[in-house]
Structure 1
Amino acid sequence: MLSFVVPALYALFVWWLGTGIILYLDGLPQRTYRWSLTGAAAALVAGVYGLVLTCTGLSLAHVYCGFTCGVLIWGTLEMSYFMGLVSGPRKAPCPPGCGPWKRFALAVGTSLYHEVSVVVTGVILIALCWDQPNQVGVWTYSVLWIMRWSAKLNVFFGVPNLHTDWLPEHLRFLQTYMGQRHMNYLFPVSVTLGTVGVILLVGRALDTDIAPFSDTSYVLTATLLALAVLEHWFLVLPLPDEALWSWAFQRRADTGAARTPVCPACAQDRPRVLISLRGI
């Protein structure tokens, strides 16, 4: 039982702590970003180096280290976007009256360079760890990559809880590209496929014919994917998920922040908006 509980709790802790650290640093004054990004650059190098070292190992320490490195690499990329280092060519709100295709094209322009960096980093990690026995770091990065894209598409197509107040001040214009609806057609596909993935990974972890090394790898990945599915549900259910990182938001609560209206063309069937933002 401990072989399942311990890695699940570890994945939960890393997800919670990593999200909180990023949100806290994003909420600091922009003059601190250079120091945060310097630390993030060092963390990125350490994460890639650690991933390369651990992908050849078969011990539990190698598994946990590989998982942690995968989260670390992803977190540094997220910081580079939220702190404005790597974003996109467009840094302006969506013009009024845009159709869905034009709004989508403009929205892609707000994060194009970042998305390219995510793809390039993913390809590099896959190449570095190709045909190695420990793939948990690559799996971790891939889960965060795919589910992040899924969450962004769901927010674009429209969800009840846009979680906009967790955006840093300089990214508030992104609210104008978001849709606000009770539901969109992509959401059930996202949560269904994500849930099926969790079930398959747990099934592999329960396979008695595989080694403890593999058990832990599957449990870590399944837990992270389950948390990503949960984050999707936070987009539609009225749950106070911001309470999970209240310590990271204390400074923002003290200073307050202005809001940018959601794109009027997309504000259909407006429900109450839950204030939060997906962290990893």
Structure 2
Amino acid sequence: MLDAWIMTPWIAAVFAVFAWWFATGAILIVVRRSDAGDRMAHGRSVVLAVPLLALGIAGLIVTSGDLTPLNIYLSFGSVLLIWGWIELAFLAGVITGPERGDCPPGLTGWPRFVRAWTAMSHHEIALLLGLLAVVVASHPAENPFGLWAYVILFFARISAKLNLFFGAPRINTEFMPRPLAHLKSYFRQGPITLAFPIGVTLLSAATICFGERLVSASDPATAVGFALLATLAGLATLEHWLMVVPLPDAKLWRWMLPVPKTHQEGTDP
């Protein structure tokens, strides 16, 4: 009975949506609680999550050699663990960049881009190292779906950052943690730029491509894999549109987060 369920593409799609929502919420909860803690709270949360990173890498290694529906689900989840740890380290301010100050008012053009890069360059390098680790862990890849999931997440994150830098009509900073407060000064709220249609077009094309592969899949395992990828690419596309369309997307997670404490001046530990 369970085997029949996990081999159903629409179950895979539901799983991808839930995993995306749950993983995002879990990271936000940890970051919000760390914000309310002492100065070492964010660092502790990253260190305590290292076993999850190791579990993700191990899971990817174990599941990459055999193309079965269960292995595809597990490789997908393993990649989310790897990606989630890198995102947690970023939001915790542990892996960001050497520049920790606000963007100077009036800074434009190439100098602004360079300063923004130095503010988060370590995170970009971590994402690249994560991609390298996923490639190595999943080689030889009888099951390439974990690798493709990471590639989707990687491209979507880079595209989203570029849109926040160049300009987007809607920028939600509600969940921005204290260690990254300075990054708000690098965001530009305004009309969309060329970065938006490029990102949305490529992600939409990926969604359609994976959807076509899903429809033409010749076996249940492949169908499950492409259902996961098509859904993930679709969610990434949706996240981009939420930078333009005024929808209350923050409500998806706001209800589950602890109320942030107000830190009065001079009272931070």
- Superposition TM-score, scaled by structure 1 size: 0.87
> Is 1:190 equivalent to 2:199 in the alignment?
yes
- The alpha-carbon distance between structure 1 residues 109 and 248, as it changes in their structure 2 partners (threshold 3 A), is farther
CA distance, structure 2, for counterparts of residue 194 and residue 140 of structure 1: 12
- Please name the residue that 1:104 is paired with: 113
Question: CA offset at residue 40 of structure 1?
Answer: 1.6
CA shift for structure 1 position 52:
0.3
**Corresponding residue for 1:21?**
26
1:131 Cα deviation from its structure 2 partner: 3.1
Tell me the secondary structure at the aligned position of residue 241 of structure 1: coil
Maintained 8 Å contact 2:42/2:93: no
2:250 maps to 1:215:
no
Deviation at 1:89, TM superposition (A): 0.5
Contact 1:155 1:178 in 2 (8 A): yes
- The correspondence of residues 28-177 of structure 1 with structure 2, limited to 5 A, is 28=33, 29-31=36-38, 32-177=41-186
Other structure's SS at 2:49 match: helix
**1:100-154: CA deviation from partner (whole Å, max 9, x where unpaired):** 2111110011111121111012112112322321011111111111100000000
Letter in 2 for 1:39: L
Match of 2:239 in 1: 231
Q: Distance in 1 between matches of 2:241 and 2:37?
A: 31
Task: Give the drift of 1:249.
Answer: 3.2
> Any conservation in 2 of the 1:164–1:172 contact (CA below 8 Å)?
no
Offset of residue 161 of structure 1: 1.0
Structure 1 segments (4+ residues) deviating >6 Å: none
Q: Give the conservation status (yes or no) of the 8 Å contact 2:169–2:192.
A: yes
% identity of equivalent residues: 33
Find the aligned partners of 1:257 and 1:249 in 2 and give their Cα distance: 17
- Root-mean-square deviation (CA, aligned residues, Å) is 1.7
Q: Which amino acid aligns with 2:230?
A: A
Query: Do the aligned partners of residues 109 and 171 (structure 1) sit closer, same or farther apart at CA in structure 2, a change above 3 Å counting?
Result: same
- CA distance in 2 between counterparts of 1:85 and 1:137 reads 26
Q: What are structure 2's unaligned runs of at least 5 residues?
A: 265-269
Q: Normalization by structure 2: what TM-score?
A: 0.90
Stretch moving more, 63-72 or 36-45? 36-45
Structure 1: how far apart are the matches of 2:196 and 2:165?
11
Cα deviations by residue, 1:52-97 (Å, 9 ceiling, x for unpaired): 0000122211010000001110010000111011111000000122
Aligned residue among 187, 203, 210 for 2:212: 203
What is the rounded CA distance, in whole Å, between the counterparts of 1:33 and 1:179 in structure 2? 27
